[in-house]
Chains A and B, each alone.
Chain A
Amino acid sequence: MKTARLFLGQNAGILLAIALFLALYSIYVSLHPNWGMNVVLQNGNETLALILVGMAQTMAVLVGGLDLSVGPLMTLTNCFGSIVMAGTGGSILAGIVACMALGTACGFLNGCIIVYGRIQPIIATLATGAIFLGLALLLRPTPGGAIDGDFAWAFTNDLNELGYTYGWWEDLGLIGRIPLQPVYLALIILLVWIPFKRSVTGRGCYAIGSNAHAAYMSGVRIDRSKIAAFTLAGFFAGCAGIYLTMQMGSGNADAPQAAEYTLRSIAAVVIGGTSLYGGTGGVIGTIFGALVLRSISFIFRVVPEDSTVGFVASPLLQPFFEGLILLLAVSLGAARTFRAKNRLTLFS
């Protein structure tokens, strides 16, 4: 009983995000005229890049910073990817590896500037973000690039299509209907996030976020953990860029889109239960935070126009409601200000 309560207390944010997502998505499912695996696939396609950018942002927030370059870095790897992933067969694989390397290198650069240059993350990444966008524009002055159609189709679809396209396997039945996006996510979490979180460096990131001074006194290697966090953020942003390239089939140095992804990534992190002050949370919560954000937009598409709430289906109202829901979600945290017996406890 006590353990259960402790678990609830420690994971309140993430559980709230999961509940919110389940509630919103069930509304979507119940309103959708012909919901099925195809719709799930389409939803996954529209969400994965945001999830990955949100995961990148989570890394920066965990160590008590904010990374304003995640959107631009995604755009940069997208443009870079549209060039290096343009071939067929093995050269695509090499291109993907190159993109991951580029993202990781840019994240490492961010980390070094922040740690060794002693510049606040938000400002340093504001500047590197401008540089990344400039480089992206340099690579792709106009949108373009042609990714192999078969490849783009197969790798953004479900397991069956992947098998059919390349003749690797035949119909896998129900398992074959699993979309690839959750598979990618599971792979990244199992192979990258969990090993990182359990490593000394990863635990150091949490320690820095909750109390940098105490962490330093306890012998946590602050510099190494911070650089690792921003490097991993770069890796995640790079993955987002790769997925965007596969999904669009081309590269586009779209500055407004980069800014939008950066801002939404912050929202996804907050809804996912990671504290903006650092030290608690994790990328799993952010996944659900991003899913919540996207579910809201999905719902607006399927609200029947002739129902009593039909007026909200108007695309003109959608940005307004998105903002309002974001505001309400973050204001929920304000409950503690009304419970506080002593206002002094709030200043931390």
Chain B
Amino acid sequence: MSFRIDTPILIGLVFISLILAAGTSYTLATQGTATFVSPTYLLQQLHFGAFLGMTAAGMMLVILLGHIDLSVPWTLTASAMVASAIGGFAGDMTGLMVGLTVGLVNGIGVAFLRVPSMIFTLGMNTVLLGLMVMLTGGHAPQSAATDLMLFLGRDRTLGVPHSVIVWLIISAAIIFMLTRTAVGRYMYAIGNREAAAYLSGVRTRLVIVGAFMMCSACAAIAGISLAGYSARAFQAMGDPYLLPSIAAVVLGGTNILGGQGKYSGTVVGVILIVLLQSMLSIMQMEEAYRQVIYGAVIILMLLIYSRGRGRAAEA
């Protein structure tokens, strides 16, 4: 197993250093302190970024297959809301089950009914939204975070936030699966050419269903811990996670058409996006400029990346 850093990961790391440098010089100039690179501040960013990290981890698996999961926002929200409505440990488990069920339905729709994933998961997102409106409509269910949520999302051990540890565990599991197990190989194979994988005897439909279930489970775990971070579950809490998670996966070098990409790239992508967002907010920039810069950086990175790949292809 040779250790090699891919171009997108390298570009990502360069951009992360640039963002850290820009943020630090800004705080040095305005406040005279290097807040941006202080361990406390960075740990705080990781604490919050871990929720995006968990969502992106699941999203990466689905994108690797050449599909996409647009139902992530409301899977995340529904899991958190159902879990807090029921309450206690049973509630948390029900929340996770909600996630797995959504993933199962998505997987069946995409793999067995062969509906394009984009549109099926989109419909699923609307259905979940509708279900949650029904749940909270007539009466206001309990929305306070359960003990497990607080433990996962808010608490720290020796200064390390538990959400970061959960993210690390999920990451380790995914890296193991992608590089050391047959299922991981199948995922790359299906993403490259599903027909070839099928003819080679891979049970492609089961792998696809499995990937969608893992993606939704990641979203559910992210939702349950995020509810702990904000001390309650609320409607639309997952909405800010859809586009950044897709962006993180793609910036990390996973091909949006599937079949190519490393998980480590996704981690770099998540850190990049979290730092970019926090740099823009530390500069107290208006939301409008933030959006423009956010979009421009994504395009710029992809342009550099596609130039690099173009040259490699020509060589």
Contact = CB atoms under 8 A, between A and B. Distances in A.
Interface of A: 66, 113, 117-120, 122-124, 126-131, 133-138, 141, 253, 256, 259, 263, 266-267, 270, 276-277, 314, 316-324, 326-327, 330-331, 333-334, 336-337, 343-344, 346-348
Q: What 10 A-B pairs are tightest by C-beta distance, nearest first?
A: A320-B130, A323-B126, A134-B291, A130-B295, A334-B113, A137-B288, A323-B127, A134-B292, A316-B137, A319-B130
Contact of A134 (B122, B125, B289, B310): B289
A326 B130 CA distance: 12
A337 B113 CA distance: 6
A319 B126 contact: yes
Contacts of A336: 114
24 contacts: A113-B303, A117-B303, A119-B302, A123-B298, A124-B302, A127-B294, A128-B295, A130-B294, A134-B287, A134-B294, A135-B292, A137-B288, A138-B288, A141-B286, A276-B116, A316-B138, A319-B129, A319-B133, A320-B129, A320-B130, A323-B127, A327-B123, A334-B112, A337-B113
A152 to B, nearest CB: 26
Contact of A130 (B115, B250, B292): B292
B113 A123 contact: no
Contacts of A124: 299, 302
B247 to A, nearest CB: 7
Contact of A347 (B70, B194, B287): B194
B172 interface: no
Nearest to B194: A347
Nearest to B121: A327
Given A266-B122, A323-B124, A337 B291 contact: no
A346 B194 CA distance: 10
Contacts of B127: 320, 323-324, 327
A137 B291 contact: yes
Nearest to B135: A316
Interface string B101-116: 0000000010011111
A272 B125 CA distance: 20
A331 B115 contact: yes
Nearest to B251: A123
A326 B70 CA distance: 14
Main secondary structure of the interface of B (DSSP, over half): helix
B306 A317 contact: no
B315 interface: no
A120 B257 contact: yes
Contacts of B299: 113, 117, 119, 124, 127-128, 131
Contacts of B122: 263, 266-267, 326
A70 B124 CA distance: 21
A287 B116 CA distance: 21
A323 B70 CA distance: 13
B37 interface: no
A123 B195 contact: no
Contact of A135 (B124, B246, B288): B288
B119 interface: yes
A253 to B, nearest CB: 8
A136 B295 CA distance: 14
Contacts of A117: 299, 302-303, 306
A62 to B, nearest CB: 15
